[in-house]
């Protein structure tokens, strides 16, 4: 078992700054990815921050999984945790102001904590990263992102998720319900927008044979973006939004997006066709 309880304290407090511009072309590509109507000016829908100030590691600096390699140098933002599988586990997001087309954007990221743990699936390390996004010098989005690093999957591990059974998702308890089937082009476009080269989203042999998923995996922030769009359609922009990955969503399988409102609080979720929950989320208007 890899040694994960190393001293990662040197990385806590480490900061990274990135700059970007939300020009009309980038806004248009984001809207087209989600089949939303084009707009030439004004505030963009919530979730646009996921594709701003993205990582830009050279291709030669990527690891086997497609993420930037980590080392113990002063320029490595995240520590060299000796666990090969990385996933975006959760985020807590506060929306303070809209981000409009034409804005010059800066994102300041800070490592808040590095926490080794162990669970049923083995050794894990959780990294909490705070991101503040400033369009034209104004704080618009404050996000606390949780990353988890996990042990390699055994070559003969059962594929996840397991094959769907006969159960079907029942939307009766929800106030709003939308169904879509993520496709390979949707995942490709979202990977391109976010400059995310994690191979589980586009390389089927790698996703299946190395990380032991049953198919290409739908991005967590892609599903979060879809839930934010559902919220905006139903109740308008949110002040707060949090989501947590529960199980993998697989390309080509129906995805049920749902919302329920109680006063100013929203309960949201994404479910597979057999009722298996893939994302838990909540929001506030």
pLDDT in tens, the chain (285 residues): 444 556 788 899 999 999 999 999 999 999 999 999 988 779 999 999 999 999 999 999 999 999 999 888 888 899 999 999 999 999 999 999 999 999 999 999 999 999 999 877 789 999 999 999 999 999 999 999 999 999 999 999 999 999 878 889 999 999 999 999 999 999 999 999 999 999 999 999 999 999 999 999 999 999 999 999 999 999 999 999 999 999 999 999 999 999 999 999 999 999 999 999 999 999 999
Residue at a domain's end among 90, 121, 152: 152
Give the integer Cα–Cα distance in Å for 18 and 52. 9
Give the integer Cα–Cα distance in Å for 274 and 24. 39
Asked if 165 and 145 sit in the same domain, the reply is: no
Q: What is the pLDDT of residue 156?
A: 95
Phi, psi of 134 (to 5 degrees): -120, 105
Asked if 161 and 85 sit in the same domain, the reply is: no
Residue at a domain's end among 123, 152, 181: 152
Structure-token match 């094959």, residue found: 163
Asked if 145 and 25 sit in the same domain, the reply is: yes
Q: What is the pLDDT of residue 4?
A: 52
Residue at a domain's end among 126, 152, 178: 152
Q: How many domains does the chain have?
A: 2
Asked if 43 and 174 sit in the same domain, the reply is: no
Q: What is the pLDDT of residue 6?
A: 65
Asked if 238 and 116 sit in the same domain, the reply is: no
Asked if 191 and 229 sit in the same domain, the reply is: yes
Asked if 11 and 145 sit in the same domain, the reply is: yes
pTM: 0.94
- Report how far Cα 127 is from the mean position of its chain's Cα atoms: 14
- CATH assignment of the domain containing 115: 3.10.129.10
Asked if 18 and 125 sit in the same domain, the reply is: yes
DSSP annotation string for the chain? --------GGGTT-EEEEEEE--HHHHHHHHHHTTPPP-SSSBPPTTGGGGSS-----GGGB-TTSSBP--SSTT-SS---S--EEEEEEEEEEE-S--BTT-EEEEEEEEEEEEEEEETTEEEEEEEEEEEEEETTS--EEEEEEEEEEPPPPTTPPPBSPPP-S----GGG-SEEEEE---HHHHHHHHHHHT---GGGT-HHHHHHTS-BSSPBPPHHHHHHHHHHHHHHHH---SEEEEEE-S--BTTS-EEEEEEEETTEEEEEEEETTS-EEEEEEEE-
Phi, psi of 116 (to 5 degrees): -75, 145
Write out the residue range of the structural domain in which residue 232 sits: 157-285
Asked if 181 and 257 sit in the same domain, the reply is: yes
Asked if 140 and 162 sit in the same domain, the reply is: no
Asked if 245 and 259 sit in the same domain, the reply is: yes
Asked if 138 and 161 sit in the same domain, the reply is: no
Give the integer Cα–Cα distance in Å for 222 and 51. 10
């Amino acid at each position: 078992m890899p040694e994960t309880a190393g001293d990662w304290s040197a990385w806590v407090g480490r900061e990274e700054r990135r700059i970007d511009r939300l020009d009309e072309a980038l806004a248009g590509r984001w809207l087209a990815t989600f089949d939303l109507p084009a707009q030439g000016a004004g505030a963009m829908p919530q979730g646009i921050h996921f594709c701003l100030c993205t990582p830009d590691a050279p291709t030669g600096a990527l690891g086997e999984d497609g993420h930037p390699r980590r080392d113990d140098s002063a320029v490595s933002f995240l520590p060299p945790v000796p666990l090969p599988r990385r996933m975006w586990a959760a985020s807590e997001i506060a929306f303070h102001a809209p981000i409009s087309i034409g804005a010059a954007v800066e994102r300041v990221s800070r490592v808040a904590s590095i926490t080794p743990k162990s669970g049923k699936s083995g050794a894990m390390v959780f990294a909490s990263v705070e991101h503040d996004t400033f369009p034209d010098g104004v704080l618009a989005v404050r996000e606390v992102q949780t990353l988890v690093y996990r042990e390699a999957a055994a070559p003969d591990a059962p594929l996840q998720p397991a094959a769907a059974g006969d159960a079907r998702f029942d939307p009766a308890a929800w106030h709003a319900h939308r169904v879509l089937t993520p496709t390979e082009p949707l995942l490709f476009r979202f990977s391109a927008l976010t400059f995310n080269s994690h191979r589980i989203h586009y390389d089927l042999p790698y996703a299946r044979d190395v990380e032991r998923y049953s198919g290409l995996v739908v991005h967590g922030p892609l599903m979060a973006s879809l839930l934010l769009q559902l919220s905006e359609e139903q109740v308008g922009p949110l002040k707060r939004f949090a989501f947590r990955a529960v199980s993998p969503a697989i390309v080509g399988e129906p995805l049920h997006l749902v919302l329920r409102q109680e006063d100013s609080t929203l309960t949201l979720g994404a479910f597979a066709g057999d009722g298996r929950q893939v994302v838990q989320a909540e929001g506030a208007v």
